[in-house]
Chain A
Amino acid sequence: MKLIVNGEAHEIDAATLAELLAALDYEGNWLATAVNSDVVHTAERAQFKLSDGDRIEILAPMQGG
Chain B
Amino acid sequence: MKDKNVIQVEDLSKMFGDFAAVNSISFHVKAGEIFGFLGANGAGKTTAMKMLIGISSPTSGKATVAGFDVYKEAEFIKKNIGYMSQKFALYDDLTVKENITFFGGIYGLSKKQIDQKRCELVDELGLQEVTNSLVGSLPLGWKQKLAFSVSLLHDPKIVFLDEPTGGVDPITRRQFWEMIYKAAHNGTTIFVTTHYMDEAEYCDRVSIMVNGKIEALDTPKKLKEQYKTDTMNDVFLKLARG
- The answer to whether A and B assemble together is no
A-binding residues in B (CB < 8 A): none
